[in-house]
Amino acid sequence: MQKLTTPFIVLSAGMLLVAPWIINAAPYESTMGLVQKVFYFHFPVAILFLVSAIICGVNSARVLFWKNERADGWAVAAAELGFVLGALTLVTGPLWARKAWGVWWVWDARLTMSLVLFLTFAAYMLLRRYGGPGSDRLGAGMALFGMVNVPFIYVSVNVWRTLHPMTSVVPTLPTDMGIPLWFCFAAFTMLFVALLNLRATLEHQRTRLEALYLAQDEA
Amino acid sequence: MMRAFFRVAWQVMRKDMTVEIRSREILLTTLLFAVSVVLIFSFALVREGRAPDDVAAGILWVAISFSGTLAMGRTFERERYNDTLRALILAPADRPAIYVGKLLGLLLLMLLVEIVLVPMVGLLFAAPIFAYPGMLLMLLVSGTLGFAAVGTLFAAMLVRVRSRDTLLPVLLYPITVPVMIGGVRGTAALFQAVPDEPMARFWIGLLLFWDAIFVTLALWTFEPVMTE
């Protein structure tokens, strides 16, 4: 995994540089026009937002139930990335909604639960920062509760009648819109993997350093 | 096996209730706090003796969640203060059973507070609390259960954390938002001018769904997080 970080960052940076041209080349959506192009960023960051919640939750479960201390580094990394991606989702979404629906925000199930998940990440980070000793266990428990939201957010648009498009929209996209979408998705995913890797490595090194300090104090 | 589990849970709850009945500390402070919250809302919202429409449900649930947070912080604080937490954990009993006992104790306290709270909201905000007593009771019990299930777990985990008093609401509210929404929407459906029974029933179903998820998750996580 470690060796992939640099090529992934370079590649995703290049792809995100080219992305505006590719998005520009995609056809205009018939009813929403230009503003629909937010979608090419909104979809990837929203999906990765959910993915980071799952990574954070699964690694927290590994910490709690299998006593895997290294998994904690991955959970912290995923939580911080989830916070950033959640913020991006909650910014790009309303930008699009203002034009498409006429309002910035509606309190439907998906939007509400996405906001809740974002707040959960924020609370998790506050806890990890200010909780002091013992907060890692508690954070892990909290991440499990946060992960429960993910399937709920994903299926909510299919269950409730709402303004947000359903999950069936993306697979049925025409090719000339699908290409820029998956291009952006690939770019964001590589960036996500690289950042996750870097942050987890940093966290592992920090824990190791702390353990070394402790060992030195005891000696 | 199952009987032993519930016997431990019952004993933990009975212990908490005995302490509580002798001191009445948590019940009285929580009750006064809940009453003040409702009063502050009525000072803020009631104009010339008339409350705005459709605010009663929201105020009721805000008061329940605020006062509940106070109560759940105290239940474990008492264990820590008296140095009995270790004894409780060392007891040769299932950890989840201890959790269930604590949860039942908190649930009972919160429901006792609600017995005062609901008529008060009905009185001050002209809410028809006796129109659908059964459904209102279901909403209160299922909503409080979901809230208390997460709250008991988090309060237990926070006992050993530094800034536990500030962190408990910060951690608890984002997670329990679904329960709050369910409680408020369901209660509002019963309190509105033309009550919407199917709507209230739908929210009760959703609340029970979240209750099941929260209780299951809490039972799973209580054991590993309470290990030192």
pLDDT tens-place values along chain B, 228 residues long: 788 888 888 988 898 888 888 888 888 999 999 999 999 998 888 887 777 878 899 999 999 999 999 998 888 888 887 778 788 888 888 888 989 999 999 999 999 999 999 999 988 888 888 888 899 999 999 999 999 999 999 888 888 777 778 888 988 999 999 899 999 999 999 988 888 889 999 999 999 999 999 999 999 888 888 776
Q: What b/e string do you get for B57-84 counting C-beta neighbours within 10 Å, with b at 16 or more?
A: bbbbbbbbbbbbbbbbbbbbbbbeeeee
Q: What is the pLDDT of residue A212?
A: 92
All residues of chain A having their beta carbon less than 8 Å from the beta carbon of residue B217 are 144-145, 148
Domain tally for chain A?
Answer: 1
**Residue A129 covered by a domain:** yes
Predicted pLDDT at B205: 93
User: According to the model, what pLDDT value does residue A24 have?
Assistant: 81
Mutate to test the interface with A, among B159, B221, B223 (most CBs of A within 10 A): B221
Contact between A134 and B160 using a beta-carbon 8 Å cutoff: yes
By C-alpha distance, the chain B residue nearest A118 is B174
CA distance B95 to A7: 48
Chain B residues with beta carbon closer than 8 angstroms to that of A116: 174-175, 177-178
Nearest CA distance, A31 vs chain B (angstrom): 33
Would residue A128 count as lying in a domain?
Answer: yes
Subunit contact B175:A120, Cβ cutoff 8 A: yes
Cα B26 from Cα B100, distance rounded (Å): 19
Is the pLDDT reported for residue A18 higher than 90? no
Tell me the CA end-to-end span of chain B in Å, nearest whole number: 25
Q: What are phi and psi of A164, to 5 degrees?
A: -70, 135
- Asked if residue A41 belongs to a domain, the reply is yes
Which among A122, A131, A141 is the nearest to B153, CB-wise?
A141
* B66 within 8 A of B34, measured Cβ to Cβ: yes
Closest chain A residue to the Cα of B219, Cα to Cα: A141
- Give the relative orientation of helices A39-66 and A135-147 as an angle to the nearest 10 degrees: 130
Average pLDDT for residues A87-91, to the nearest whole number? 92
Residue A44 inside a domain? The answer is yes
Average pLDDT, chain A: 86
Higher pLDDT, B160 or A14: A14
- Kind plus residue range of the DSSP H or E element containing A28: none
Phi/psi at B97 (nearest 5 deg)?
Answer: -65, -40
Nearest CB neighbour to B174, from listed A120, A131, A148: A120
- Find the distance separating the first CA and the last CA of chain A, reported in whole Å: 35
**Which residue's structure tokens are 């820029």?**
A180
- Percent of chain A past pLDDT 70, that is, above it, reads 99
**CB–CB contacts below 8 A, A to B:** 75
Residue A203 forms part of a structural domain? yes
Query: Residue B157: which of A126, A138, A146 has the nearest Cβ?
Result: A138
Chain A residues with beta carbon closer than 8 angstroms to that of B214: 145
Name every chain B residue with its beta carbon within 8 A of the beta carbon of A142: 154, 171, 175
**pLDDT tens across A39-78, in order?**
888 999 999 999 999 999 999 999 888 888 888 899 999 9
pTM for this one? 0.86
What is the domain extent for residue A57? 36-209
Chain A closest CA to B77's CA: distance in Å?
Answer: 16
User: Which of A112, A135, A148 minimises the CB distance to B217?
Assistant: A148
Residue written as token pair 């029970």: B208
Q: Which residue has the tokens 């006593």?
A: A67
Question: In A57-77, which positions are buried (b, 16+ CB within 10 angstroms) versus exposed (e)?
Answer: bbbbbbbbeeeeeebbbbbbb
Rounded CA separation A97/A104 (Å): 6
Query: Is A131 within 8 Å of B163 when comparing Cβ atoms?
Result: yes
Q: For residue A137, give the nearest of B157, B170, B177 by CB distance.
A: B157
Nearest to B221 among A64, A123, A133 (CB): A64
Distance CA(A121)–CA(A89), nearest Å, equals 14
Query: What pLDDT score was predicted for residue B68?
Result: 92
Given a contact cutoff of 8 angstroms between Cβ atoms, the answer to whether A115 and A89 are in contact is no
Chain B residues contacting A, CB < 8 Å? 150, 153-154, 157-158, 160-163, 167, 170-171, 173-175, 177-178, 181, 213-214, 217, 220-221, 224-225
**Residue A146 contacts B, CB cutoff 8 Å:** yes
For the cut 70, the answer to whether the pLDDT of residue A38 exceeds it is: yes
**Residue A60 pLDDT:** 92
Does the pLDDT of residue A175 top 90, yes or no? no
Kindly report the nearest CA distance between residue B174 and chain A, in angstroms.
6
Q: How far is B173 from chain A (nearest CA, A)?
A: 9
Q: Is A127 on the interface with B (CB under 8 A)?
A: yes
Name the 3-class secondary structure at B118.
helix
* A125 in B contact zone (CB under 8 Å): no
Residue A20 lies in a domain: no
Task: Answer yes or no: do A142 and B154 touch at CB < 8 A.
Answer: yes
- Say if the Cβ atoms of A134 and B154 lie within 8 Å: no
